[in-house]
Structure 1
Amino acid sequence: MCAAIIDDDLWTLIEPLLPAPKPRRKKYPGRLPVSNRAALNGILFVFKTGIRWRDLPIELGFGSGVTCWRRLRDWQDADVWNQLHALLLAKLREAGQLDFSRAAVDSSSVRAIGAGGKTGPNPTDRARPGSKHHILVDANGVPLNAILTGANCNDVTQLLPLIDTITPIRGVRGRPQHKPRVIYADRGYDSDAHRRCLRHRGIRPIIARRRTEHGSGLGKFRWVVERTHAWLHNFRRLRIRFERRADIHEAFLKLGCALVCWNIFRSMEPSF
């Protein structure tokens, strides 16, 4: 029997998003495939513990590490994690837990073992290969968007892509939300050109200036994005990048954002 990791409520949201399995031959169908829920439990086990795929314990009923890896790859190709993230954001908006009055942006660097796509020399880690997680959150710390780049990518280059690629968030009647009113950012995003672009999009930029004294006072608004990075790094597979393929690590990053949204949504439920 498969060890239960994903709860029933979340599974009911994910199951309709998964692509239909390939048709099997009737005469010689072969061995039955591992169920999608068992494979997802195996993916989450690797994601949370950080173990290697080959070390995934088969006796727990997850299936082999290769099977779980292939499901993760196929579901990433089918855009399952982006759809799940958008669905959970809509539920949070419906529950009144999304605050677009302001947003905060920041990045965190992680070491990339073996390099691979979307990696680069990390200037904060003696030029070792690394990647960056660029995160945009709302006023409550809900992750709205995430982008993966090399560790040598300048933060400000991802400011506009983070905002422009926000999935329109539904959940209530009327127009879907797709941009915050105010953006808070640290000195790494100091750029007059980007400030003009934000104003052109109807967003008020509040970005610290370089070569100014510390104590800008933005920390009381920006701390939520740093907390969200800490939440994501609770998943050990996001602390250190072991995947050479960028799409696999991006799948983990998007899955992490969805799970953070789910945890926030579940925290609103009354306890009896």
Structure 2
Amino acid sequence: MPVLPTFITDPLWEQFQALLPERNITHPLGCHRPRIPDRVVFDKLLARLVLGGTYQQHADESCSATTMRARRDEWIRAGVFEQLHHLALEAYDQAVGLDLHDLVVDGCIVKAPCGGENTGRSPVDRGKSGLKRSVLVDGGGIPVGWVLAGANRNDSPLLRPTLETLAVLGFRLPEAITVHLDAGYDSAGTRELLAELGCTPNITPRGTFLPINRTHRWVVERTNSWHNRGFATLAKVTDRRGIVQNAWVALASAIIIIRRLVRQSWIRYRWDGRPARCP
């Protein structure tokens, strides 16, 4: 049984395959073992992203754990995961449109029992090793950028690098941008930073309780839930290297964007073969 519906995996693989670097390796004696197809490895990595677990648990006679890790690193060096996320954002922006007038940033702490880069003592898990994702989403909750850091890092110092991920994408920004933040960002430094960037702050005051549905921050909470509940590898990080951690977040975010793109397109457009019900 596939770990994801075909209406996600098929377009995801077609674009992923187009980004793979060309390989023209031949053995002089013609006696090397045949290379395992990229699609087989890709499906294995998707299974690990969704279901979690070790590489050995997903390995079988069709693909070993060593091959999964080697091919993963090969694709990371080629920048395939980041490009896939950027292309998914561009496709969503063209078909539906990113809501960049309202940006929301929030941090999310997850378990990282194996330690490694971007980890630290978690203040919400009895000091165990944890990782924090500072996530930037648009007004509709589409994951635009993120920064990984130790669970013991405060949210406020991560705000600038998180917002700077938007500039890397190269989108044309609107003149008026409102940044929605929770009480953890309520400081003079945060307001000075947003004024420097030309953004209007909408920060929940410290000591004030506001239900999440009374603010615009609920979209980032929903995105964090999509990351953690839909992808076990993001809820419990066991990879120790930062580049691998970023690759998993990029792949998961691309899947989220494709799912939203398909559902929004079903509402807005008509095309041949359009399903009778929204997938």
- TM-score, scaled to structure 1: 0.89
Aligned partner (choices 245, 256, 262) of residue 252 of structure 2? 256
Counterparts in 2 of 1:191 and 1:41: CA distance versus 1, 3 Å: same
Match of 1:243 in 2: 239
Rounded to whole Å, the distance in 2 between the matches of 1:132 and 1:49 is: 20
Counterparts in 2 of 1:192 and 1:216: CA distance versus 1, 3 Å: farther
Identity rate of aligned residues, in percent? 29
Q: 1:123-171: CA deviations, max 9, x gaps?
A: 111111110111110110000101111101111111111111223355x
Match of 1:106 in 2: 106
Q: Is the 8 A contact 1:48 1:235 kept in 2?
A: yes
Rounded to whole Å, the distance in 1 between the matches of 2:175 and 2:245 is: 26
Match of 1:34 in 2: 36
Q: Is the 8 A contact 1:81 1:255 kept in 2?
A: yes
Aligned length, in residue pairs: 263
SS in 1 for 2:97: coil
Q: 1:36-68: CA deviations, max 9, x gaps?
A: 111111100111111210111425x4x112211
Aligned partner (choices 199, 217, 221) of residue 222 of structure 1? 217
Structure 1 residue 104 displacement after superposition: 0.7
Q: Is the 8 A contact 2:146 2:165 kept in 1?
A: no
SS in 2 for 1:268: helix
Counterparts in 2 of 1:236 and 1:180: CA distance versus 1, 3 Å: farther
Rounded to whole Å, the distance in 1 between the matches of 2:127 and 2:213 is: 30
Aligned-pair Cα RMSD in Å: 2.3
One-letter amino acid matched to 1:54:
Q
Q: List 4+ stretches of structure 1 deviating above 6 A.
A: none
Q: Which runs of 5+ in 1 are unaligned?
A: 171-175
Match of 2:56 in 1: 54
Rounded to whole Å, the distance in 2 between the matches of 1:23 and 1:179 is: 50
Structure 1 residue 12 displacement after superposition: 1.6
Q: Is the 8 A contact 2:85 2:254 kept in 1?
A: yes
Match of 1:138 in 2: 138
- TM-score, scaled to structure 2: 0.87
Match of 2:95 in 1: 95
SS in 2 for 1:135: strand
